[in-house]
Amino acid sequence: MPVVAVVNRKGGSGKSTFAAHVAAWCARQRLAVMLGDVDRQQSSRGWLRRRDPALPGIAPWVVDQRNVLRVPTGITHVVLDTPGGLHGFELARIVMFADAIVLPVCPSMFDRESAAACLGELKTLPRVAKGQCRIATVGMRVDGRTHGAEVLRAWAREHEVEMVGMLRETQLYVRALERGSTLFDVAPSQVAVDLAQWEPILQWLKPVLLPPPPAEPPRREGILPPVRRAPVLGGRPLHPGQGVLA
Ligand SMILES: Nc1ncnc2c1ncn2[C@@H]1O[C@H](COP(=O)(O)OP(=O)(O)O)[C@@H](O)[C@H]1O
Ligand SMILES: [Mg+2]
């Protein structure tokens, strides 16, 4: 099951905005997607509560009685929103489940420095080092009237990470999120500039979110296919109300 996690130590870098958009895009593709909110502030959960039920559905995260984050049966895709300050064991745990990590980075020096520290830590994790968990960054809240885009591209080159796109600073994101929607939920003609900016990001995400189906193993008579169980992210309990994976 594809799991995309949105990570950056810095609060306000656009993690929840980005995660909501990836989940909404999946829902538009008729994928059964869950938006897991690992953030104590539960921003994504709050956003989901405001979401119009007439829009393509996104499942909230589900925690069972033992406080284990459980992916409900039928869910095929998971997007994880994470809190600022995520590092150490908590970050490693997210990476254990993720197929791809996206780091939204704003252009300011503080944002770049914080993202560089996060990236450095991510690169030390075995799944990232082995290429089992892919990493990319996205420029966030980039003001076209400044050198923000240029500065971010240079930053990505310096830190040897793929910069897969830039999203401009616009109140369209703020207004959409307040309504429980995203730019993927409004008439495309109203947000054409922004949808064009999402194109390269989605191109990078598509092989992760829509991998080609695995080749069927040859069937042998008399052998039943294995029973499929609902997957569980993390075998150890979550601390109730903290929203931390085990
Ligand atoms: N491209 C954008 N243009 C304008 N405002 C944005 C954009 N992306 C995010 N924001 C706003 O920035 C603030 C922080 O974004 P958020 O997604 O909550 O960050 P994080 O989850 O990393 O703390 C929010 O108020 C959000 O509406
Ligand atoms: Mg957030």
In this predicted model, which residue has the larger pLDDT, 239 or 213?
213
pTM to 2 decimal places: 0.89
**Is 71 among the domain residues?**
yes
Q: What does the pLDDT look like over 69-126, one tens digit per residue?
A: 678 889 999 999 998 988 999 999 999 989 999 999 999 999 999 999 999 999 999 9
Q: How many domains does the chain have?
A: 1
Residue type, 39: D
State the closest ligand 1 atom to the C-alpha of 10, by its place in the atom list counted from 1.
22
**Is 189 among the domain residues?**
yes
- Any atom of ligand 1 within 6 Å of the Cβ of 176: no
Domain that residue 59 falls in:
3-211
Find the CATH number of the domain harbouring 70. 3.40.50.300
For residue 15, the ligand closest to its alpha carbon is 1
What 8-state DSSP symbol labels residue 86? -
Percent of the chain at pLDDT exceeding 90: 70
- pLDDT band of residue 237 (cuts 50, 70, 90) is very low
**Is 227 among the domain residues?**
no
**Is 183 among the domain residues?**
yes
State the closest ligand 1 atom to the C-alpha of 13, by its place in the atom list counted from 1.
22
- Any atom of ligand 1 within 6 Å of the Cβ of 82: no
Complete DSSP assignment for 8-26: -SSTTSSHHHHHHHHHHHH
8 A C-beta contact, residue 80 and residue 98: yes
pLDDT at 233 over 90: no
**Is 162 among the domain residues?**
yes
**Radius of gyration from C-alpha coordinates of the chain:** 18
Report the alpha-carbon distance of residue 155 to residue 66 in Å, rounded: 43
Q: What does the pLDDT look like over 38-63, one tens digit per residue?
A: 777 778 888 999 999 999 999 988 76
Other beta carbons less than 10 A from residue 51's beta carbon: 22
**Is 222 among the domain residues?**
no
Centre of ligand 1 to C-alpha 149, Å, is 17
pLDDT at residue 226, rounded to an integer:
60
User: Helices 171-178 & 15-28, crossing angle to 10 degrees?
Assistant: 70
Residue type, 171: Q
Identify residues whose C-beta is under 5 A from ligand 2, the ion.
Answer: 15-16, 43
Report the alpha-carbon distance of residue 141 to residue 19 in Å, rounded: 15
**Is 246 among the domain residues?**
no
**Is 156 among the domain residues?**
yes
